[in-house]
Amino acid sequence: MRTALAILLAGTVLALPAAARADRLPLPADAPASFQAECGGCHLPYPPALLTAPDWQRVMATLDRHYGDNAGLEEKTRREIEAFLVRHAATRGRMSGAGDPPRLTRTEWFQREHRKVPATAWRDAQVKSAANCAACHTRAEQGSYRGREIVLPRSR
Ligand code: HEC
Ligand code: HEC
C-alpha cells in the first residue's frame, strides 16, 4: 500500500515539467458553502491559488466597491470566505495582481499564460472580459483548464 502510493507520487512528480503546469484548479475541498453561494453567483468562484493573500484581503476589504459592483457581505460570512481564500492563496510574487481591488487577470502569471491569446479574442462579444474564464475554458466551472478544452470565440 505504502509502496504503491510512493510510486504513484513519484509518477506524478515526474510527469510535471519543471515549471509546473496549472491546468487543474479545482475548488479546494475545505471551501465553505458560502464561497460558492456568495462568490459564484455573478462569475465563477475564482480559484484562490490565483492571487496572493494580501490581494485577497484587499478584495475582501472592498466588497462594497467591487469592480463597479456591490458584493457586500455580512461580517461573519466575509471573514469565513476571507480565511478560506487566504489559506489557499499563492505565495509567489508573480501571482500578485495589479489594480485596486487587485485583479487575478492582471498578475504576471496570468499575462504570461495568456500571451499567445490574440487581442481580438479578448474583445469578442462573447468574451467581453478576461475575467470571463468560461467563455474560452469550457470546463472552467469544473476547475479544468486543459488546452484541448479551450475554445476561442472566433472558432466557434
Ligand atoms: C454582485 C455580483 C458579484 C458578486 C456577488 C461577486 N463579484 Fe467578483 N466581480 C464582479 C464583477 C462585475 C467583476 C468584474 C468582472 C469584469 O471585469 O469583467 C468581478 C471581479 C472579481 C475579481 C477580479 C477578476 C479579474 O478581472 O481578475 C475577483 C478576484 C472577484 N471578483 C472576486 C470575488 C469574490 C471573492 C467574491 C465573493 C466574496 C465575489 N467576487 C463576488 C461581481 C461580483
Ligand atoms: C479569450 C479566451 C480566454 C479567457 C477569457 C481566459 N483564458 Fe485562460 N487560456 C486561454 C488560452 C488560449 C490558453 C492557452 C494559451 C497557450 O497555450 O499559450 C489559456 C491558458 C490558461 C491556463 C494555463 C493552462 C495550462 O495548461 O497550464 C490557465 C490556468 C488559465 N488559462 C486560466 C484562466 C482563468 C482562471 C481565466 C479567467 C480568470 C482565463 N483563463 C480566461 C484563453 C482564455
Sequential pLDDT tens for the chain (156 residues): 454 544 444 444 444 443 445 799 999 999 999 999 999 999 999 999 999 999 999 999 999 999 999 999 999 999 999 999 999 999 999 999 999 999 999 999 999 999 999 999 998 999 999 999 999 999 999 999 999 999 998 654
Residue 3 falls inside a structural domain? no
Residue 147 falls inside a structural domain? yes
Which ligand is closest to the CA of 156, given by its number? Answer: 2
List, as own/partner pairs, every contact residues 93-99 make where C-beta atoms lie below 8 angstroms and the sequence separation is at least 24, other chains included.
93/52, 95/49, 95/50, 95/51, 95/52, 96/51, 96/52, 96/54, 96/55, 97/51, 97/52, 97/55
pLDDT at 18: 37
Domain count, the chain: 1
Query: How far does residue 108's CA lie from ligand 1's centre (Å)?
Result: 19
- Can you tell me which residue has the cell 455580512? 74
Residue 2 falls inside a structural domain? no
Residue 143 falls inside a structural domain? yes
Three-state DSSP state, 26? coil
Residue 109 falls inside a structural domain? yes
Residue 70 falls inside a structural domain? yes
pLDDT at 151: 93
Residue 8 falls inside a structural domain? no
The residue segments making up the domain with residue 142 are: 23-155
Query: How far does residue 73's CA lie from ligand 2's centre (Å)?
Result: 29
- Can you tell me which residue has the cell 466575509? 78
Give the residues across from 24 on adjacent strands.
144
pTM of the model: 0.90
> Which of 43, 117, 129, 141 is the best mutation target for the ligand 2 pocket, counting ligand atoms within 8 Å of the beta carbon and taking the most?
117
